[in-house]
A and B are shown apart, each in its own frame.
Chain A
C-alpha cells in the first residue's frame, strides 16, 4: 500500500493517474482548489481503492501556506511514497503580452509555486531516504515559441529545476520524474479545436506516468512520439526557428 500525495488533484491528468494507482491499492491525500470537485474525486477514489481518502482545498498560489500543508500531511497522513505535482493553468498568451501582472501571475502559478512545493517535498523525501517526486512540466518548456512562451518559460523553469533536483538526490535513493505531455484533451485546453493524432487523452498520459514510476524513468515525453518531435524542434537553428509561426 503506497501513500500518494496529489497536488492539483482536480486536473484531468492527475485524476486519471490517481485512478490507475487506486487500482493497484493506494492511500491518497488530495490537494486542489475546487472543493466540490475535489470531494467528488475523493469519493470516487475511495470506492476504487477501498481506502479512506483525505482531501483539502487550498489556493496553491499562496506559497507561504506550503510549509503548513506539508506539516499537516506528515501529521495526519504519514510518510509520502509518491508525490505528484500536477497543478497549473494555461495562461492567455495575448493577455500576458499586454500585462506584466498577468505574465508574472502565470509564472507564479506554473513555476514558483511548483518549485516551492518541490523543494519542501524533496527535503521531506530526502529525510526519509526514499520516495518518488513527479511533476508535470510540458513540451512547451523545451523551446520558446511565440504562441505560448510565457507558459513555456514557466514550464522550462520547472524542467530545469527538476533536472537539478534529480542530480542532487540520485545518490539518496529518491526518484525525480519530469513528465512532459504534448497536447492533451483536458478542460485546460477546452478552447482548442482538437483534431488529429497529436491530441492524447488524459488516461494515456496517466498510463505513461505509472509506467515511468514502475520503470524508474527520469524524464518522459507523453505520448512517446513527442520525444522525437521535440528532438527535431530543439535542433532547428535559431536563425530558422525565429522565422517560424509556431
Chain B
C-alpha cells in the first residue's frame, strides 16, 4: 500500500503529523534536527494515540528490519527494532524456537513490543515481553547511543520498557527465545457458565498450561464464556509444518460500523454455542493470532473507528469489579464483540509504566458512537479506579489525565527519562487534562 498518513489500529483519534521520516540504517541514523517533537511509529497496531504525534514528526521504523545475530544453539536473537514478530517467527519456528511472549497479533514491531511492554496468554508463567529482553540500544535526540540491559543503564532500561516510545528511539533489540519441540499447540476448550466458574477453572488450569485466555459473552450479562488453554506440543506428536493460511482482507471501510448491537448479540450467542473440540492439536497461528487471518479487520468498525478498553483489577477486587463492569456494559446496550479475560501473574518486567500487574485483565472493544461510548468508558473507569486497577495505554484513546496519573503514579519518576525532543498525542493528552 502507499505511504499515507499513519493511523492507529482503532482509527480514532485522527492526527496529522507535520513531518514523516522513514528511518533506514541503524549505523547512519541521525535524528532530524528540528524543533518539532518526534515519536517513533512502528506498525501502527496500538489502538489509540500512543503511536500518534499530532503536529509533530513521526519516525517510521518499519525499514529498520534486519536481523543482526541469531544463535540457533542458545536462542539469543538480535534484530533491528522495526522488524515484525511475524518475520521473526518465520525464521525461528522451523529451527525449534518461539517468542518468549507474544501479543494477539504477530504484526507488531520489536520496538513496539518493548515500548508497550506487551503481554500474552502466558503472562501467569512468563511475565510480559520486557522480562525477556536482554539488551537494546536507545538513541537519544542529543546523539547519544545508550546500551541498555537489566544490569547496564538499568534506569533507562526500566523507563523504556513500557515507555511508549517517549524515551528515545530504540534502534535494535536482543531477546531470549524459548525452545519448542514442534510448531503445533495442544489446545483445550471449556465452556463456563459464570464468572465464579471462570475463577475456579483458572486455579485448575494455570498449573497445567502455559497459555491461557478466555472469551466472555458480554451481550447477555451472564458472565458465561469459553476457557481456552494451550501448550506447545511435545516432540514426536506431530512434526509436519503447519499449513499456510491464505487469509481474507476486509476490502474497504464501510460508512457505518458493521459491529452493532444486532451483530454483537448474534455473534456472542453463536460463538458460545459453536461446537469446538474439547482437546486437540492446532497450528500455532490460529491459536495465538486468530484475527491475523482477517487482514484490516479494524475496517469492520466503519469510518468512526472503535475503542478498546483493557483494564486490570487486583485479585481481591476482581470478582466484584468485573461483575460491575459487565453489568454497566449490558445496561448501556453497547456490547463488545470480543471480550477477553485473563489472569496476570506476579512476574513483572520492572518497566516504570508497564501495564501488567497481578490481577485479572479484561479487554473489550466498542464501535465509536461518539459521546455515548465515551460516557460508558468513563463509567467503566470509575469502577477500575475504585477497585485499584489500571487501564492499558496501548489500547487507550480517551482516559482522563486524572485517571492516568492515578493508575500510573510512577509517571513522575518516568518524566525524568523522556527525551526532551520526544512527545506523543497520548502523552500531551494525559498530561494536560
Do A37 and B69 touch across chains, with their CB atoms under 8 A apart?
no
Do A44 and B66 touch across chains, with their CB atoms under 8 A apart?
yes
Smallest Cβ distance from A137 to chain B, in angstroms? 22
Do B27 and A37 touch across chains, with their CB atoms under 8 A apart?
yes
Do A199 and B27 touch across chains, with their CB atoms under 8 A apart?
no
Smallest Cβ distance from A30 to chain B, in angstroms? 13
Chain B residues near A198: list those with CB within 8 A: 2
Task: Tell me if B332 is interfacial: C-beta within 8 Å of chain A.
Answer: no
Partner-B contacts on A (CB < 8 A): 12, 23, 36-37, 40-41, 43-44, 47-48, 185, 187, 190, 194-201
Do B67 and A185 touch across chains, with their CB atoms under 8 A apart?
no
Can you list 18 A-B pairs with a CB-CB distance of less than 8 A?
A: A36-B28, A37-B28, A40-B27, A40-B68, A44-B66, A47-B67, A47-B69, A48-B91, A185-B3, A187-B24, A190-B22, A194-B2, A194-B3, A196-B2, A199-B2, A199-B3, A200-B2, A201-B1
Do B68 and A43 touch across chains, with their CB atoms under 8 A apart?
yes
Chain A residues near B272: list those with CB within 8 A: none
Smallest Cβ distance from A189 to chain B, in angstroms? 10
List the B residue with the shortest CB-CB distance to A201.
B1
Do A36 and B69 touch across chains, with their CB atoms under 8 A apart?
no
> How far is it, in angstroms, between the C-alpha of A187 and the C-alpha of B24 when the chains are bound?
8
Chain A residues near B1: list those with CB within 8 A: 201
From 1 to 48 in chain B, residues with beta carbon under 8 angstroms from any chain A beta carbon are: 1-4, 22, 24-28
Smallest Cβ distance from B23 to chain A, in angstroms? 11
> How far is it, in angstroms, between the C-alpha of A67 and the C-alpha of B2 when the chains are bound?
40
Given contacts A185-B2, A194-B2, contact A47 B27 (CB under 8 A): no
Do B67 and A48 touch across chains, with their CB atoms under 8 A apart?
yes
Chain A residues near B28: list those with CB within 8 A: 36-37
| Closest 10 A/B residue pairs (Cβ) | A44-B66, A47-B67, A199-B2, A194-B3, A36-B27, A44-B67, A47-B70, A185-B3, A40-B66, A196-B2
Chain B residues near A48: list those with CB within 8 A: 67, 91
Chain A residues near B4: list those with CB within 8 A: 195
Known: A41-B66, A190-B22. 12 other contacts (CB 8 A): A36-B28, A37-B25, A44-B66, A44-B68, A47-B67, A48-B91, A185-B2, A194-B3, A195-B3, A199-B2, A200-B2, A201-B1
- Chain B, interface size category, equals 10 to 19
From 65 to 113 in chain B, residues with beta carbon under 8 angstroms from any chain A beta carbon are: 66-70, 90-91
> Which of B2, B27, B68, B69 gathers the greatest number of chain A CB atoms within 10 Å?
B2
Chain A residues near B27: list those with CB within 8 A: 36-37, 40
> How far is it, in angstroms, between the C-alpha of A201 and the C-alpha of B62 when the chains are bound?
12
Given contacts A185-B2, A198-B2, A201-B1, contact A36 B25 (CB under 8 A): yes
> How far is it, in angstroms, between the C-alpha of A41 and the C-alpha of B3 when the chains are bound?
23
> How far is it, in angstroms, between the C-alpha of A79 and the C-alpha of B29 when the chains are bound?
37
> How far is it, in angstroms, between the C-alpha of A23 and the C-alpha of B69 when the chains are bound?
17
Chain A residues near B2: list those with CB within 8 A: 185, 194-200
Smallest Cβ distance from A185 to chain B, in angstroms? 5
Smallest Cβ distance from A53 to chain B, in angstroms? 12
